[in-house]
């Protein structure tokens, strides 16, 4: 099956370089050797040109590293890259990994490339890499979207007001995009190229030990990176947790969660692959399928829409709608029954047993159920000295401890706490007309069972 044309953008429209030794693929967002449309398009082009394919990755650490990434994030990333390297090499594709920005690695390796293929992400730092590559690379550059079901600009040409405005557009469009990405045969192997890789990611622990980064937040045992692990978890969920997902997804103690978000974040599994598996699964009913596709497509791609069309998606004054900032400002001086420092919040030292448990799950295992994430964020707004400081705290904690932090969903979910993609509600102290969430929301599930589950998870972390 051909890669859909809507997924493909030509950034530098020149003929492939006749003297090129290979087709270069910058593997930065889609870190997987299978079900990867950018990689498969690179193979198609290389087969046509009778050339091998070389995939490259730029690893940043220290002060130049990816913003807010720490040992927890890098451990998961490196585990996934080790598996991707192995998978690529088994297919006859070269893999080069260097200590430099993705843009620099692609620019350096483009000198001997016939053409360059990029995958795509929507964060500002990623857009900056693509722009730098386009400015400096004198080769044909093709970019392929493999991180969403419906490409962002195809789904909508503007910033959407809410899920209810984007949902019908996606429903009309998504069927042709939910199809298998079949592996192409690599006709020309890359083994004879002898390109130098500065990093051997086959031993991810050794690579991690050699990096300069924040180690206060360490790796977790709960999640292991890699596309194989992602597919294993997905199969387990479909067999054991999917039936009843529609009714149980908002109950953290019910185990009705696929835990796909870290793997989606690091591009170790395709959302299209997940959507296909959901549609084809024999267990579950239409309600279960609809509920899951709402999360993995509508809600996730609403977040992509937000960061793509919002310059300053991490800035309170730009990411939060005017009406919400106004009402929060009007109530900024309201008395707060409880106030905590950011250190107290990070340590889970509040009066709220259930909030503390959620923070502990996040801090020690890198994950928190979506139902608790909403409550967790709303309480930081309530317990912070100002809305703007609350926004900054929520984002810092989110990005520091969550494995899936620092992505489009993170920036969008934090802004949602402060009114994004929502409407005015009944006026209350501190919140104004921004949606309020009280302790009564915990009655919708077995909160005591959730606390016990967190205790077991954290004990497993040691």
Q: Which CATH superfamily is domain 1-147 in?
A: HUPs (3.40.50.620)
Q: Tell me what pLDDT residue 254 has.
A: 67
Give 30-76 pLDDT, tens digit per residue. Answer: 999 999 999 999 999 999 999 999 999 999 988 788 889 999 999 99
Query: At 169, is the pLDDT very low, low, confident or very high (cuts 50, 70, 90)?
Result: very high
Predicted confidence (pLDDT) at residue 394 exceeds the cutoff of 80: yes
Compute the C-alpha angle 114/120/124, nearest 5°.
120
Neighbouring C-alpha atoms within 13 Å toward the C-beta of 55: 29
Residues 6+ apart with CB under 8 A from 217: 70, 71, 72, 400, 401
Predicted confidence (pLDDT) at residue 255 exceeds the cutoff of 80: no
Per-residue H/E/C for 256-267: CCCCCHHHHHCC
Mean pLDDT of 299-305: 98
Percentage of the chain lying above the pLDDT 70 cut:
100
DSSP 427-450: -BTTTBTSPP--GGGGGGS-HHHH
Question: Which fold is adopted by the domain 227-309?
Answer: 1.25.40
For residues 308 and 450, give the distance between their C-alpha atoms in angstroms, rounded to a whole number: 35
Reduced to 3 states, what is the DSSP secondary structure of residue 211? coil
Predicted confidence (pLDDT) at residue 89 exceeds the cutoff of 70: yes
Q: Tell me what pLDDT residue 376 has.
A: 97
Question: Which fold is adopted by the domain 316-461?
Answer: DNA Cyclobutane Dipyrimidine Photolyase, subunit A; domain 3 (1.10.579)
Which sequence spans correspond to the domains of the chain?
1-147, 227-309, 316-461
Mean pLDDT of 146-172: 98
H-assigned helices in 11-97:
37-49, 71-90
Of the candidate ranges 95-99, 100-104, 190-194, the one whose mean pLDDT is the lowest: 190-194
Predicted confidence (pLDDT) at residue 222 exceeds the cutoff of 80: yes
Supply the mean pLDDT for the chain.
96
Q: Tell me what pLDDT residue 444 has.
A: 87
For residues 126 and 325, give the distance between their C-alpha atoms in angstroms, rounded to a whole number: 28
For residues 337 and 329, give the distance between their C-alpha atoms in angstroms, rounded to a whole number: 18
Give 310-320 pLDDT, tens digit per residue. Answer: 999 999 999 99
DSSP 376-392: HHHHHHHHSSSHHHHHH
Predicted confidence (pLDDT) at residue 253 exceeds the cutoff of 80: no
Query: At 416, is the pLDDT very low, low, confident or very high (cuts 50, 70, 90)?
Result: very high
């Amino acid at each position: 099956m051909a890669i859909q044309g809507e997924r493909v953008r030509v950034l530098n429209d020149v003929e492939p370089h006749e003297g090129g030794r290979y087709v270069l693929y910058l593997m930065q967002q889609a870190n997987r050797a299978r079900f990867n449309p950018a990689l498969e398009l690179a193979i198609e082009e290389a087969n046509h040109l009778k050339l091998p394919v070389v995939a490259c990755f730029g690893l940043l650490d220290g002060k130049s590293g990816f913003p807010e990434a720490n040992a927890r994030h890098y451990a998961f990333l490196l585990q996934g890259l080790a598996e991707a390297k192995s998978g690529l090499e088994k297919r006859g594709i070269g893999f080069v990994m260097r200590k430099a920005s993705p843009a620099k690695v692609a620019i350096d390796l483009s000198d001997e490339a016939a053409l360059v293929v990029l995958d795509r992400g929507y964060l500002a730092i990623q857009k900056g890499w693509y722009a730098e590559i386009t400015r400096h690379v004198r080769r044909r550059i093709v970019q392929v979207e493999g991180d969403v079901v419906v490409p962002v600009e195809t789904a909508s040409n503007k910033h959407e007001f809410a899920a209810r405005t984007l949902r019908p557009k996606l429903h009309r469009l998504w069927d042709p995009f939910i199809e298998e990405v079949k592996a192409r045969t690599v006709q020309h192997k890359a083994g004879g190229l002898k390109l130098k890789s500065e990093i051997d990611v086959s031993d991810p622990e050794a690579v991690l030990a050699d990096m300069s980064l924040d180690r206060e937040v360490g790796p977790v045992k709960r999640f292991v990176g890699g596309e194989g692990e992602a597919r294993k978890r997905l199969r387990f969920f479909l067999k054991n947790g999917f039936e009843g997902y529609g009714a149980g997804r908002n109950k953290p103690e019910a185990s009705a969660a696929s835990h796909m978000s870290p793997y989606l974040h690091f591009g170790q599994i395709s959302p299209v692959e997940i959507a296909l598996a959901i549609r084809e699964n024999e267990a579950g009913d239409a309600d279960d399928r609809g509920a899951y596709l709402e999360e993995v497509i509508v809600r996730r791609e609403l977040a992509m829409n937000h960061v793509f069309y919002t310059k300053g998606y991490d800035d309170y004054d730009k990411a939060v709608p005017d009406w919400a900032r106004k009402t929060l400002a009007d109530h900024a001086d309201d008395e707060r029954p409880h106030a905590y420092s950011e250190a107290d919040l990070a340590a889970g030292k509040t009066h709220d047993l259930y909030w503390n448990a959620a923070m502990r799950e996040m801090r020690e295992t890198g994950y928190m159920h979506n139902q608790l994430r909403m409550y967790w964020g709303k309480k930081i707004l309530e317990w912070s000295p100002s809305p703007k400081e609350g926004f900054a705290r929520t984002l810092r904690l989110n990005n520091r401890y969550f494995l899936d932090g620092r992505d489009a969903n993170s920036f969008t979910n934090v802004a949602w706490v402060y009114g994004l993609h929502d409407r005015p509600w009944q006026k209350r102290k501190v919140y104004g007309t921004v949606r309020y969430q009280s302790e009564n929301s915990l009655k919708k599930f077995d909160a005591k069972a959730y606390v016990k589950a967190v205790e077991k998870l954290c004990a497993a972390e040691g």
